[in-house]
Amino acid sequence: MSKGPQRIRGTQDIWGEEADRFARVVETFDRVRRLYAFQRIELPVFEATEVFARSIGETTDIVSKEMYTFPDRGGDSLTLRPEFTAGICRAYLSEGWQQHAPIRLATHGPVFRYERPQKGRFRQFHQLDAEIIGTDSPLADVELLVLADQLLHQLGISEGVTLQLNTLGDAPTRDAWRAALVSHFEAHRSELSEDSLVRLAKNPLRILDSKDPRDRPAVDSAPSIDEFLTPEASAFFARVTAGLNVADVSWTRNPRLVRGLDYYRHTAFEFVTDRLGAQGTVLAGGRYDGLIEGLGGPHTPAVGWAAGIERLAMMLTPPPALPPAIDVPVVVMPVGDAAEATAIRVATAVRRRGFATEIYTRGNLKKRLARASERLVSTAIIIGDDELEAGQATVRHLRIQQQDRIPFDRIVEQLWPTGDE
RNA sequence: GCGACCGUAGCUCAGCUGGUUAGAGCAUCGGUUUGUGGUACCGAGGGUCGCGGGUUCAAGUCCCGUCGGUCGCCCCA
């Protein structure tokens, strides 16, 4: 079946209706992001490996086994970005964006993770990303969440999506809670699943969102973070939730929500749906006050989130509701080689007037008209020997099945009279 | 990385318990007096049956491996 080179596993050739959905997600994000005054940035798809290794956490699966890491010809170790945040923080430092802090940034593009592909999960996939860097105000967290909420509404996919919210507290909170969890789970070792025993050593917080029913009892009896929140941490969380309530964004407290990446503090959140099988998370993020410091910069508080474009696109309304991919109102049909030059001249004039057109050259006139009808073209400009001799094109209006003759140099102004956009 | 299912024309699939030159629909291309419409009719091209090995007189059909896909686990957007 297959001829020639194969597409790389976990990558996609996006085309047609799927490409339209994809574009709609990006366009909507771009529109909403402006409403919240986030500025657009473009960043490299690869960075020095240490940018990700130091920020994401050496023990996470992403860093330990999912990165595309390779030496370049100069011997430096580079990595295709597995997420946006680390690269944005690196840029924040190397471009001196501190002087603009707090700064609101938005971007989107491909990210890469060496994972086993399945529904809604790819090796090259695409994310939307929004970050606010340089403020420790809970208002920033609120703004980001309200932005996310509005994005989902404008995409028309907020139905069935719930915002799950949690706090991971500040550093002292997190350390105390973590220690309590470790001793709790150590005491219940015998009740845990094999997976969770591994987590206990590597990333004990992760046991909390285990799907294995065997872990339930130990998880249910585990200490809650609320018992360890410092007054500052709980005041922070209270201001975030209060802000969401004022903005009328509904949310659910999920005390077992933790983040996979090590750099998160305080607010952690996920917009989750049940419509995407195992890949329920559609947009996720939180506050990462320690990350920039970890990269060697000054202490810099920040918040952000990322959303999977493919996952959002999959939730979009089915094809019929979408507008046609390409709207070409006019088509030019030269009949015979002699008509070619005139066809090019006419088509160019149409495009310079600001309208899309295509020149159909293949097949007999009947086939071409059939093709045009199929694609909902409204006007066909036919140019053959008769027309060349008369200096007038046959302009056929496909909808009303009527046609008339118009001199070549008057076609554009006849079809689109000035002032009638 | 683990488990289950799947892999036949560009697309969607049929091919019964292994048996002559592998089929259909859609799409494509051509034709129905080299110039007038989504229809109709006629015809054509297009397949190393993912790939490699094995069993058998004989394999698209059975077995093993491999690659790819799907779903789940892990992880995550």
Bridge-based pairing of strands A68-71 and A39-40 is unpaired
Least confident of A6-10, A57-61, A298-302, A372-376: A57-61
**Of A60, A132, A33, whose CA–CA distance to A89 is shortest?**
A132
- Please report which confidence band the pLDDT of residue A132 belongs to, taking 50, 70 and 90 as the band edges: very high
Does A252 count as an annotated binding residue? no
- The C1' atom of B60 and the CA atom of A299 lie apart, in whole Å, by 65
- Nucleotide B50's nearest residue (CA vs C1') is A1
Average pLDDT value for residue range A129-145:
97
Q: What is the pLDDT of residue A329?
A: 83
Q: What is the pLDDT of residue A1?
A: 44
Distances (CA, A) of A298 to A252, A288, A290, A292, A421: 34, 14, 10, 7, 54
- Average model confidence (pLDDT) for chain A? 89
Does A131 count as an annotated binding residue? yes
For A139-193, what is each residue's pLDDT tens digit? 999 999 999 999 999 999 998 899 999 999 988 898 899 899 999 999 998 888 8
Does A113 count as an annotated binding residue? yes
Q: What is the pLDDT of residue A362?
A: 76
Does A83 count as an annotated binding residue? yes
How much of chain A, in percent, has pLDDT values that exceed 90? 54
User: Is the pLDDT at A3 greater than 70, yes or no?
Assistant: no
A122's CB contacts (< 8 A; 6+ apart) are A10, A11, A12, A310
Range list for CATH 3.30.930.10 in chain A: 17-154+258-315
State which residues between 233 and 262 of chain A bring their CB within 7 Å of strand B: 259-261
Least confident of A56-60, A84-88, A259-263, A386-390: A259-263
Average pLDDT value for residue range A69-81:
94
A62 touches strand B (CB under 7 A): yes
Range list for CATH 3.40.50.800 in chain A: 330-415
- The C1' atom of B28 and the CA atom of A4 lie apart, in whole Å, by 20
Q: In whole angstroms, give the CA distance from residue A40 to residue A128.
A: 11
Average pLDDT value for residue range A382-386:
89
**Of A336, A394, A331, A338, whose CA–CA distance to A364 is shortest?**
A336
How much of chain A, in percent, has pLDDT values that exceed 70? 95
- The superfamily CATH assigns to domain A330-415 is Anticodon-binding domain (3.40.50.800)
Looking at strand B, which nucleotides approach a protein CB closer than 7 A? Answer: 1-3, 7-11, 29-32, 34-39, 47-50, 67-77
Q: Tell whether domain A17-154+258-315 is in CATH 3.40.640.10.
A: no
For A174-183, what is each residue's pLDDT tens digit? 889 989 999 9
Q: What is the pLDDT of residue A419?
A: 59
Name the nucleotide nearest A403; use CA and C1'. B36
- Please report which confidence band the pLDDT of residue A290 belongs to, taking 50, 70 and 90 as the band edges: confident
- The C1' atom of B77 and the CA atom of A184 lie apart, in whole Å, by 31
State which residues between 130 and 169 of chain A bring their CB within 7 Å of strand B: none
User: Is the pLDDT at A64 greater than 80, yes or no?
Assistant: no
Q: At what angle do helices A85-94 and A49-56 cross, to 10 degrees?
A: 110
Average pLDDT value for residue range A253-270:
85
State which residues between 258 and 317 of chain A bring their CB within 7 Å of strand B: 259-261, 270, 277-284, 306-308, 310-311
For A292-351, what is each residue's pLDDT tens digit? 998 999 999 999 999 999 999 988 865 444 445 557 788 999 888 888 899 999 999 999
Does A36 count as an annotated binding residue? no
